Structure 1
């Protein structure tokens, strides 16, 4: 039997910020009526946090729930817990219309850490998103394009960003982030 590993098996690069593959992450896509009480109760029970509002992510000690679209959430839990969490969602939702799918092995997560303005700057080089501290706060969530591929981002804390992308483009995204954080390439626009 083979061992499950993340897309880049813990790769990291130190530039003006640290970029690292966060290893295996449990991820569940949940689609349904986000205003339904049953779905809200299922999500808060499974994730242990609040239901996020549009454009936000609800962070907990063990995971997160991100608003992906008007009928879709991304639930992040420990990798080993995904099957149990899917069963919990199914039980909690009962016959209510929904779709819950394990997408853990189809996604990859990166962390960027360092000086807050420089972490934001690295992402701003690659995405058409206003990443200034006043416009993109901790707890906000965006889906956009990172160069040529779709990606989702959020600030987990001051100086701590997360990027989720498809596993199939993990090396490409890692290389983009590594290039965007190359020593000497600081623009310092967001530090002003």
Structure 2
């Protein structure tokens, strides 16, 4: 088996905000009835985190449980743990209508950070990135320029962007252009 490599091999750009590939991240898509007792228990056993509310994130240890839709979660963890987490979820949800899939190598992940990170993201996504509209542990699925992406706050001035791996170069280039020196908007940052 070949060694896993990230989509952009650690690419980084410094401008009015820093854009950097996050590297290898374990990611599991979990589909099913998020309100079922079996699902709540399975997520707790696998991650020690609760199921988040709509457009929210919960976390415990190195796990993030990200609400993606009324019947879908994205669980992030260390890349090496992803298969074990899928195994735990599958075992716990046996007999339940559900699906747990390791999608780690199908995604590209970027961090956008700095005092103008909100402005950079607001240029390329139709989302209210003001502090009141997008706080810590908030998540949105939307368009980033012309591709689907999810973004969540990892802190006041740090955001994580996830897209399909096939769009990784495009997303990195769009974020870098939005973060270029001289492109300041100054509305949110």
8 Å Cα contact 2:119-2:185 kept in structure 1:
yes
Distance of 2:184 and 2:122 partners within structure 1: 12
For structure 2, the residue ranges without an aligned partner over 5 or more in a row are none
1:3 Cα deviation after fit? 2.2
Structure 1 stretches of 4+ moved >2 Å:
none
Aligned-partner SS, 1:125: helix
Q: Offset at 1:38?
A: 0.7
Secondary structure in 1 aligned to 2:120?
Answer: helix
- Is the 1:28–1:103 Cα contact (8 Å) retained in structure 2? yes
Matched with 2:134 is 136
- Give the alignment's Cα RMSD to 1 decimal: 1.0
Question: Aligned pair count?
Answer: 189
| 1:34-62 superposed Cα distances (whole Å, 9 cap, x missing partner) | 00011011112212222100111113331
User: In 2, Cα distance between the equivalents of 1:56 and 1:94?
Assistant: 26
| Partners of 1:59 and 1:126 in 2: CA distance | 27
The SS at the match of 1:75 is strand
Distance in 1 (CA, whole Å) between partners of 2:131 and 2:94 is: 41
Q: TM-score, normalised by structure 1?
A: 0.95
1:33 Cα offset (Å): 0.4
Segments of 5+ residues of structure 1 without an aligned counterpart are none
SS in 1 for 2:124: coil
Task: Show CA shifts across 1:51-105 (max 9, x none).
Answer: 1001111133312111111111101111101111111001111211101111111
Aligned to 2:85, what secondary structure does the other structure show? helix
Distance 1:186 1:98 in 2: 45
Correspondences of 1:135-154 after superposition (within 5 Å): 135-154=133-152
**CA distance, structure 1, for counterparts of residue 111 and residue 18 of structure 2:** 8
How many Å separate the matches in 2 of 1:23 and 1:134?
30
| Deviation string, structure 1 residues 18-47 (Cα, Å, up to 9, x no partner) | 111011111111000000011011112212
